[in-house]
């Protein structure tokens, strides 16, 4: 008998976690001033919309944040960790070179056997991971996936570079994605353009027991800004067209939370009123692969996003990578 392959996948629970240490712009500016680096709350708010971010302390690892977010998503989905048959973690700040953070998360959740792996697409990582999980569910390779975006970017920041260290934060977000007879995920689209590898990168790597190259984040901010604004608009249009919908059908837009000016310009070009734009960058900073699931979970828990709403998720980041997932919650 041919096995029944589900036609759709659907998010049945969301969760997120922020490490307790919260730094306002003033707190961070005071810290940087001790090393002679000048910045201000006004510059950061004016250029980015960021007011605060969370940083891990001590030896807290990416997998620790991921597990907390995962447990909350499992609870929201009313689902036992043992019933999960796929774990994908999107991260650029894994616990180790290997094994994957997903395998460490699996161990910490006390389950074993199901496939677990990381996706490395920087700030587009969650959109890539969700697209993969959706594809695996629709081919019958999995029925209940845990899809996580988790980052400890504070570990790869250069606190002597004021152009980047004020932008990022740590955190994790997760969803449970299940096989479903009804959609769920309506359309997905992924892209990359390796010609732009150098404009956002951490060039360091391990070789012969040493770190070669600079193991901190480098970014050409204006170049990233320009590409981000264009690709976020283009990919939104094409994912909507794939689903046979228009911008008027979108209840909520959750772009990767990098900069309020990028978010607002994307909403404007899509002719979406700013009330439909989810903004968490002010309180989280840029948490890379964690930013979209964090924003999704906060909006679901606050009652802003409701069951049945149509949500457009959009990622963009290093690689260059970008993509979108259109879904009914």
Active site residues: 123, 256, 286
Tell me if 36 contacts ligand UT7 by CB under 6 A: no
Could you tell me which of 10, 3, 2, 4 has the C-alpha nearest to residue 179?
A: 10
Output the smallest distance, CB 253 to ligand UT7, in A.
Answer: 16
What is the DSSP code (8-state) at residue 290? G
Strand, coil or helix: 216: coil
Tell me if 198 contacts ligand UT7 by CB under 6 A: no
Could you tell me which of 163, 153, 156 has the C-alpha nearest to residue 222?
A: 163
Output the smallest distance, CB 260 to ligand UT7, in A.
Answer: 9
Cα 155 from Cα 172, distance rounded (Å)? 15
Q: Which residues in 113-142 contact ligand UT7 (CB under 6 A)?
A: 123
E strand segments, 129-269: 144-152, 170-180, 185-192, 200-201, 205-207, 210-212, 218-219, 252-255
Report the residue from 133, 174, 262, 325 that binds ligand UT7 according to the rule CB under 6 A. Answer: 262
The residue written with tokens 């734009």 in the block is: 277
Question: Would you give the binding string for ligand UT7 spanning residues 51-90, x where CB under 6 A is met?
Answer: ----------------------------------------
Output the smallest distance, CB 29 to ligand UT7, in A.
Answer: 8
Strand, coil or helix: 52: strand
What is the DSSP code (8-state) at residue 143? S
Q: Which residues in 279-308 contact ligand UT7 (CB under 6 A)?
A: 286
Output the smallest distance, CB 289 to ligand UT7, in A.
Answer: 10
Cα 239 from Cα 130, distance rounded (Å)? 14
Q: Which residues bind ligand UT7 (CB under 6 A)?
A: 39, 43-44, 47-48, 123, 162-163, 166, 200, 221-222, 224-225, 228, 258-259, 262, 286, 317
């Amino acid at each position: 008998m041919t096995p029944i392959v589900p036609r759709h996948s659907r998010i049945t629970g969301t969760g997120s976690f922020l490490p307790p240490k919260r730094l306002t712009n003033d707190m961070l500016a005071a810290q940087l001033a001790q090393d002679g680096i000048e910045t201000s709350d006004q510059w950061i708010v004016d250029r980015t919309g960021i007011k605060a971010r969370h940083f891990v302390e001590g030896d807290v690892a990416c997998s620790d944040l991921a597990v907390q977010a995962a447990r909350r998503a499992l609870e929201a989905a009313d689902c036992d960790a043992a019933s999960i048959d796929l774990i994908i973690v999107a991260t650029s700040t894994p616990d180790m070179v290997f094994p994957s953070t997903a395998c460490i998360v699996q161990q910490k959740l006390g389950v074993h056997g199901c496939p677990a792996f990381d996706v490395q697409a920087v700030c587009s990582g969650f959109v890539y991971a969700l697209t993969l999980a959706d594809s695996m569910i629709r081919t019958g390779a999995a029925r209940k996936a845990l899809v996580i975006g988790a980052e400890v970017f504070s570990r790869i920041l250069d606190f002597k570079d004021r152009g980047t260290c004020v932008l990022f934060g740590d955190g994790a977000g997760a969803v449970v994605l299940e096989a479903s007879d009804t959609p769920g995920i309506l359309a997905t689209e992924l892209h990359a353009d390796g010609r732009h590898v150098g404009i956002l990168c951490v060039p360091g790597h391990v070789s012969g027991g040493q770190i070669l190259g600079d193991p901190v984040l480098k970014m050409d901010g204006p170049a990233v800004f320009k590409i981000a604004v264009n690709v976020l608009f283009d990919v939104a249009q094409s994912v909507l067209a794939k689903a046979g919908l228009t911008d008027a059908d979108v209840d909520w837009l959750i772009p990767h939370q990098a900069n309020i000016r990028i978010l607002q310009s994307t909403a404007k070009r899509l002719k979406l009123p700013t009330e439909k734009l989810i903004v968490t960058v002010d309180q989280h900073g840029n948490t890379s692969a964690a930013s979209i699931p964090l924003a999704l979970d906060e909006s679901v828990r606050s009652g802003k996003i409701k069951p049945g709403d149509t949500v457009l998720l959009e990622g963009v980041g290093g690689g260059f990578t970008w993509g979108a997932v259109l879904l009914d919650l």
